[in-house]
Structure 1
Amino acid sequence: MTKKVITIGNASGYWGDDPEALTRQVNGGKLDYISMDFLAEITMSIMQKQRKRDPEAGYAKDFLPMLEKVLPRLLANKTKLITNAGGINPGACAAAISAMAGRLGLNPRIAVVYGDNILDQLSELKAKGCDFKNMENGKAFADVEKQIEAANVYFGATPVAAALAWDPDIIITGRVTDTGISIGPMVHTFGWRWDDWDKLAAGVVAGHIIECGSQATGGNFSDWHLVKSYKNIGYPIVEMHADGSFVVTKHPGTGGLVSVDTVREQLFYEMGSPKAYITPDVVADFSTIHLEQEGPDRVRVSGVKGYEPTDSYKVSMAYSDGAKCVGEIAISGPNARRKAEAFAAIFWDRAGKDFVATETEFFGLNAFHRSMGRDEEANEIIMRLGARDYDTKKLRQFAKVVPSVILGGPPGVCILGGVGKVQDIVSYWPALMPKAAIHPRVALYSDGFKEDKDVTNTQSGRFRANESDIQVAEKPRDPVRAAVATAGAPLYEICLARSGDKGDTANIGVMARSPLAMAFLNEYLTAQRVKDVFQELCLGRVVRYRLDNMQGFNFLLEHALGGGGTLTLRADAQGKTFAQALLRQLAPIPEQVLAEVKQLRTATGT
């Protein structure tokens, strides 16, 4: 008999997430599946370097002790675990799990999804017509080809679903999309067709909600004060129905919060074009999502529409791009700001500015929000000094200058962390390639790969997004200074926000607290205004999309992260602080808008 509902819980949103999350998910109640996400664009290059030093490395080794603690109960519960912890060496990860299980007297059935690592196939694929040009700026692959250190294809759910046909206890994958490891179980369990776009799109939305772990259950939440406890925070669980509707929840008795607003915020996280959330399996339309609070810590999601996917896979590459060095000095006492500015002048006079890029940030004053913040006197400031270049000799000299200035300037200072370390930079190169050029592979693992086979890709077309109500701002109206209001109420009073990143683009999702607030924000918070406010940080366009179904807006800020990833010299490499910078801005909010929001928040206890 086909199941009508399955439960999928997430236990990791990134490499370095809470190591106890898996234990809480396994011990908190029976689940059909648990998914764990460990990979990011830069992670693959780190793993590639590890594998160069050790052929048996190249996967998330932190995963093994997490699994060891719960493996007996996981198997007893018949909960299947699916994770991309395999990195660029999923076979070695499977072997390590098998060996660990053997020591425990256990013999789990392990499947492996691989074939995404195309580093050694680039020349062959180029000969077949894959040009690998940069999908964001159109630059030719030849510009970076010799510096490529990692190259991985984003596979979708098809190999995961194929592997589940073997009834494994654990599936270890390489670079499978965050949503793919969630959709696979749905297709396998419910028998969804690969051209049932609406159901697949619902799977994408479910996967997107849970992929970042506790960000859906109260983590990074604008209204963080509503979360009664962050102790033992519950990680998200999806109760997926065969018709594509689902409920987002968490285990009872855990910390955190599941509400329409926590789910809304996560849906906006790292969102691009709302009507075209592109995955290898389907294109999901986020403008069709309907959210409803079903009960305490339960949000029902329905109405999702989807479309035929594109004929391409995304390829994530990483390439060597020079080096950087950062040093920090703490300044305290009266006139801390003036002293910090004096130290910066002394430092750069000694170090020079003959570098590809430099950065000076004042923590405790304006490091994250620049002139968007209020001009207040600080008791102490940490001055962060950074330089980027292709000449490591210059950077080593830069590092020596940082501690050398503390005795030759204003008083009340100390060096933090000693001499700065010169770090290699690995930059991100996103590209596309035809799906027909490569196939995922799956295998059972038992002292090596068994029953190894190709997986047929899902059918694909040439989807083109049909967005409407888009605003674009190219340049600030006043290029001299940011447009920061000095009177009014903070935007936080009438909206929530969350920010994320993709490469050098930051996104800020803004969600109104009431219909009148939505109407006001539609007129006031334009793409042009956001460009004016963020002009010091955002050097490219600002694009605004409106989503009436979620009573919000998605802003894309291009060239806003100083290069992003490991390339940037900024402390906030991923735009995590952008949403808070926007929420603190003052605006001439009408009294009737504030009154409606207050009334709604009082009625709902938020």
Structure 2
Amino acid sequence: MRIGNFSGYLGDRFTAIDEAMAGDPVDVLMGDYLAEVTLAALAVTYDPARGGGWVDYFRKQLRPHLATIAERGIRIVTNAGGFNPEGLAAALREDLAEAGVDLTVAHVEGDNVLDRLGEFHTDGHAMEHLDTGAPLKDWGVDPIAANSYLGGFGIAEALRAGADIVVTGRVTDASLTAGPAAWWHGWTPDDWGPLAGAITAGHIIECGAHATGGNFSGFTQVPGMVKCGFPIAEIAADGSSVITKHARDGGMVTVDTVTAQLVYEIQGPRYLNPDATVHLDTVRLSQVGKDRVAIAPVTGSPPPPTAKVAVFAQIGWQISQMLFCTSPNVAEKVALLRDQLRAQLEGHVDQLDVTPLGTAAEDPHSQWEATVPIRVMATARAPEALKPFPAAVGSLYLQGFPGFHHDGGAQPVREPWPRIDYWPALLPAELVPNTAVLADGTRLEAPVSSRWATPEELEQGRSPEPPAASTAATAGGRRIPLGELTYARAGDKGGNSNVGIWAPDPEHWEWLRSTLSTSAIRELLPEAKDCDVVRHEFPYLRAVHVVLKGLLGTGGSSNLRVDQIGKSVGEYLRSKHVTVPEELL
């Protein structure tokens, strides 16, 4: 079967469905909209009494193509239902009736457990934070959203019952592919091997152009990079797959672009999903044609006995403003700005963060080469406490450092906005239903695996530390940026940043693994000095993978870093200089 992606996040290219419909044939089109930060944003605005809570962006994308979708028999699967998949399903039925198109819409529910948190607490489920171990009751704020990550068999049940369009809430990103594959090939929940293969393919195409050259370290080599096309996964009955793309569109599919997505937002060699545990350290990739990368059958084992739950709560308010200073004396100017703002805001705000971005050029050729941006952010529990912030910033134009200014083409920020925090937790999987609801109200419970994984089967572990590079190799080497010989991709999982860095050239693998020891990573990334650094090796991918625990605070929606979800950590690592033996150059 052929599954094409048309969205990797809320805000992805609006014309994606137009492009997919004009591209190569597919059996299923799937769209992913629900990143953790997207759920956090939706949680602020969703009010069950007023409806909404879904991604209307998807509805607008789909509306012009309803007749053609019916004519071609394409199935549509998406998590654009957000907090209200039932509501989006009803809205789509209205669109179909208005267009006179006969398609059946079903939705999948069970992920929303907000109203059951009290019940879980009473029954002894503490929902401890995955990183800190603290019980949810000690958070000190009231959750506004709690959604469990569902597997793909609710989607499969809806498709088996004849649904043409399936709308879900919070399923895992890979479930949007694994569910249709299970339906198409008739897999059961105990087919862990084929399911693991489909989950792997789903993980690769879930982020759209991430697999075709987008956000790729080797972007200068990507043809048609101005508008990368969307990927397609061809999934066989044994779970093996080929990743490709629409031939008419830009971008490319190579072992390296697929590797980039494979190491994205993982926690180690065990990729835990509600339908199977994927052994990522068994994955092998091979280029089998232009824009065609094969993934051999992947080792799979039973799924974990627990379901991950994403809980969100508003923990306060925040406000920020971008300012600029010009050399010389940048450090002294930033220090003065910090002191002046503290003097005015102390006692009002809870946190004040002043972060200069970059350094000014020596002997600059233009004013902008001499200019350093400064991001200023403040947080507080109540919005009233941040009211003095705009006035405090505005008062420094004549009494601050010389050359103080903001972007003259942008309006200064005046109002704070909600600050949402994230709490990842676990629940016994049997407590979370995965239910397909058909257009006539029929409810179909998804089947489950006959066995759960043991703790030993789920252990991520750490790879042994590599032997230290020899003194002779170090002495005879040359200092160059790590990125001259490597590619990287970074992602986020709650408060943890993950980075996969790999060697495209097989001759460089032993050097890379010996160079990137845990201690070396700490030296290269001083920002991670207080983090628990968990290191893994993926020899078949020639990749070193690290998890930097706590680098992102408690999550992308609440930390004060400018790079909130760690998107640039991999490129930052590639910019660091390391010693390379001359024979490798």
TM over 0.5, yes or no? yes
**Does the CA-based 8 Å contact 2:141-2:315 persist in structure 1?**
no
Quick check: 2:108–2:436 contact (8 Å CA) kept in 1? Answer: yes
Task: Tell me, yes or no, if structure 1 residue 44 matches structure 2 residue 39.
Answer: yes
Using the TM superposition, give the Cα deviation of residue 525 of structure 1 relative to its aligned residue in structure 2, in angstroms.
Answer: 1.3
- SS where residue 149 of structure 1 aligns? strand
Find the counterpart in structure 1 of residue 473 from structure 2.
none
In 1, Cα distance between the equivalents of 2:534 and 2:414?
37
Q: Do the aligned partners of residues 466 and 444 (structure 1) sit closer, same or farther apart at CA in structure 2, a change above 3 Å counting?
A: closer
Contact 1:28 1:252 in 2 (8 A): yes
In the alignment, the residues of structure 2 paired with residue 53 and residue 181 of structure 1 have an alpha-carbon distance, to the nearest angstrom, of: 25
AA matched with 1:59: W
Corresponding residue of 2:185:
190
1:267 aligns with 2:258: no
Instruction: Return 5+ residue gaps in structure 2 as ranges.
Output: 467-476
How many corresponding residue pairs?
A: 566
| SS at 1:257 equivalent | coil
CA distances 1:191-244 after superposition (whole Å, capped 9, x unpaired): 123212111110110010001110000001101011121244210100111122
Over aligned residues, Cα RMSD in angstroms? 2.3
| More divergent stretch after superposition (549-558 vs 100-109) | 100-109
8 A contact 1:326–1:399 mirrored in 2: no
Tell me which amino acid in the other structure corresponds to 1:493. E
2:389 corresponds to 1:398: yes
Residue 495 of structure 1 aligns with which residue?
486
Q: Return the alpha-carbon distance in structure 1 between the equivalents of residues 246 and 108 of structure 2.
A: 29
2:275 is the counterpart of 1:305: no
Matched, 1:569 2:581: no
1:279 corresponds in structure 2 to: 273
Aligned mates of 1:487, 1:407 — CA distance in 2 = 49
Which one of 512, 518, 530 corresponds to residue 503 of structure 2?
512
Q: 1:588 to 1:149 in 2, by over 3 A?
A: same
What is the CA distance between 1:249 and its match in structure 2? 0.4
1:581 to 572, 576, 579: 572
Q: SS where residue 523 of structure 1 aligns?
A: helix
After TM superposition, the score normalised by the length of structure 1 is 0.89
Q: Contact 1:439/1:456 (CA < 8 Å) preserved in 2?
A: no
Q: Mapping of 1:431-470 within 5 angstroms? A: 431-445=425-439, 449-463=440-454, 464=456, 465-466=458-459, 470=463
Cα deviation for residue 91 of structure 1 reads: 1.1
For 1:163-562, what aligned pairs fall within 5 Å after superposition? 163-274=158-269, 276-332=270-326, 338-352=332-346, 355-365=349-359, 378-416=369-407, 417-445=411-439, 449-463=440-454, 464=456, 465-466=458-459, 470=463, 488-537=479-528, 539-562=530-553
1:74 paired residue among 69, 74, 91: 69
CA distance change for structure 1 residues 585 and 45 in 2, over 3 Å: closer, same or farther?
A: closer
Query: How far did residue 53 of structure 1 move?
Result: 7.1
- Deviations along 1:123-169, one digit per CA (max 9) or x if unpaired, are 22333332212122110111137511001111101111111111211
Q: Extract unaligned runs of 5+ from structure 1.
A: 1-5, 367-373, 474-485, 595-606
1:142 maps to which residue?
137
Residues 558-567 or 105-114, more deviating: 558-567
Question: Aligned partners of 2:203 and 2:362: how far apart in 1?
Answer: 38
Q: For each residue in 1:84-138, what CA deviation from the matched residue of structure 2 results, as whole angstroms up to 9, or x when unmatched?
A: 1001111110111111222222131111101211111222233333221212211
The Cα shift of 1:341 comes to 4.4
The residue aligned with 2:148 is: 153
2:24 partner SS: coil
CA contact (8 A) 2:552 2:561 kept: yes
CA distance in 1, matches of 2:312, 2:568: 25
Deviations 1:364-420 (A, max 9, x none): 439xxxxxxx99974212211112232433322233211211111233332343134
CA contact (8 A) 1:500 1:576 kept: yes
Other-structure match for 2:109 = 114
Q: Identity of counterpart residues, as a percentage?
A: 32
Paired letter, 2:436: V
| d(CA) in 1 for partners of 2:201, 2:383 | 45
* CA contact 1:64–1:97 (8 Å) conserved in 2: yes
Contact 1:490 1:585 in 2 (8 A): yes
Instruction: Tell me: CA distance 1:51–1:567, structure 2 relative to 1, closer, same or farther (3 Å).
Output: closer
Taking structure 1 as reference, are residues 376 and 182 closer, same or farther at Cα in structure 2, changes over 3 Å only? farther
Q: What is residue 34 of structure 1 aligned with on the other side?
A: 29
Alpha-carbon spacing, 1:327–1:30, altered in 2? closer, same or farther (3 Å): same
Match of 2:582 in 1: 591
CA distance in 2, matches of 1:355, 1:539: 25
Structure 1 CA distance for aligned equivalents of residues 85 and 251 of structure 2: 33
Segment of structure 1 superposing worse, 38-47 or 379-388: 38-47
Q: Is the 8 A contact 2:43 2:312 kept in 1?
A: no
**Do the aligned partners of 1:29 and 1:251 also contact (CA within 8 Å) in 2?**
yes
The secondary structure found in structure 1 opposite 2:243 is strand
**CA–CA distance in 2 between the matches of 1:538 and 1:564?**
18
Q: Supply the AA of the counterpart residue of 1:307.
A: S
Distance 1:240 1:419, change over 3 A: closer
The residue identity in structure 2 corresponding to 1:258 is V
1:130 aligned residue: 125
Shift in alpha-carbon separation, 1:333–1:137, aligned structure 2, 3 A: closer
What is the identity, as a one-letter code, of the residue corresponding to 2:299?
K
Change (3 A) 1:344 1:356: closer
Which range moves more in the overlay, 326-335 or 574-583? Answer: 326-335
Residue 601 (structure 1) aligns with? none
Structure 2 counterpart of 1:23, which letter?
D
Q: CA deviation at 1:22?
A: 1.5
Distance between the aligned counterparts of 1:411 and 1:145, measured in 2? Answer: 43
Q: Give distance in 1, aligned partners of 2:351 and 2:141.
A: 23
The amino acid across from 2:79 in the alignment is: N
Q: Which amino acid aligns with 1:179?
A: A
- Matched residues in 1 for 2:64 and 2:85: separation? 21
